[in-house]
Amino acid sequence: MAVDVVILGLGYVGLPLAREATLAGMSVIGFDVNEALVEALNAGRSHVDDLSDDDIVAMKESGFRATTDEREIAAAAAAVICVPTPLAEEGGPDLGAVQSATEAVARNLRPGMLVVLESTTYPGTTDELVRPILETGGLLAGKDFHLAFSPERIDPGNKEFGPRNTPKVVGGHTPACTEAAAALYGRFVDTVVRTKGTREAETAKLLENTYRHVNIALVNEMAKFCHRLGIDLWDVIQAASSKPFGFQPFYPGPGVGGHCIPIDPNYLSHNVRVKLGYPFRFVELAEEINATMPAYVARRAQNILNDAGLAVNGATVLLLGVTYKPNIADERESPAVPLARDLTALGAKLAYHDPHVRDWRPGVEALPVDDLESAVASADLVILVQNHRAYDADQLAAKAKRFFDTRGVTRTDEAFRL
């Protein structure tokens, strides 16, 4: 039986996309090489924060199903590739999953099919890697099948903007390819934005995240010297935000996390170095600054304890919130991990609490606590790493011997702030 779309990769990007298409009345198949994941989805169990088990059950009732059988790709009018692109050792994206998924599509490619890459990567990937693989069987992109790139814009935990009301950027190998991709997404996304081609669409995604990366680095650098000068940066940002034009607030923190901000800009800087032979200095400097923040927080923690006449060696330090974003369970690239390792290297005894994470493994010993208030009261130092909704920071700061707020949410003078 023919289906409207098969989505390859059923993680934080592919699964919400599949749900939105299903809600629009489209017939959708999800493909993934992870057998356990496929079995869980077909049993009605979700593994991503933004979708509940009930959401998966509703998708199934509307005809969605997951499979590990790549032959089912051949029944789809469109194939959308949403597989991960982790950072490779040399600094660019690891395109192994993209290549494998593209090869699976190529083995099942039919005339007239639309193939869209959503995985974040460097400019030129769609044309230089994906297209040649798809054309190995003799069909030509832009002539026998449509090919496009559409960057994912999923923001886990965002209750205001989801797949439907976040504008969808599409860029095709040819203008006709662009229109084919726009027609697909137009069935379940409110706004479609067309670019001149695949490279422009690929670069748009990198620009979005590089913009955030650089501006976060700016305020992180300011946090360091504002602390030494006795300036409250959080108050500064609030004041600057009163300007109705020309300013957008960004906030410092213990480091950047998730798949996008700490990783995607590296794809761009790596691509510039490889293809043009010179560094993208803004991006590389931003990466250097943001990567040092966990170590900076650890040093601040050490100084807070020193000022109280305590050595960090042997002190009990409680970390609150170990995910990369508030109110979700996603731990990808969380700055809590390098912070835990830096504190352990200084001799601290670590404990942690997170209402969304029961089993955290940062690579060093960190004991979970169940009784939050008791743990806060007994720790030598409490560090608010992630401000989950479940935390009342001011109340916790009042109970703690020492409270280090890395998110600028406390209003009490009793707390130390980044």
Q: Active-site residues: which are they? A: 260
Beta bridge partners of 66: 30
Residue 330, both tokens: 């996603």
Amino acid found at 310: L
DSSP category for residue 418: -
Q: Pairing between strand 146-149 and 114-117?
A: parallel
For residue 65, list its beta bridge partners.
29
| Gap between the Cα atoms of 45 and 15, Å rounded | 12
Report CA-CA distances (Å) from 187 to 22, 72, 218: 10, 22, 40
Cα–Cα distances in angstroms (integers) from residue 200 to residues 98, 150, 166, 206, in the given order: 19, 10, 18, 10
Best CA proximity match to 24, nearest among 81, 82, 63: 63
Q: Which amino acid is at 341?
A: R
Is residue 352 classed exposed, middle or buried when 0-12, 13-18 and 19+ CB atoms within 10 A define those classes?
Answer: buried
- Supply the DSSP symbol for 348: P
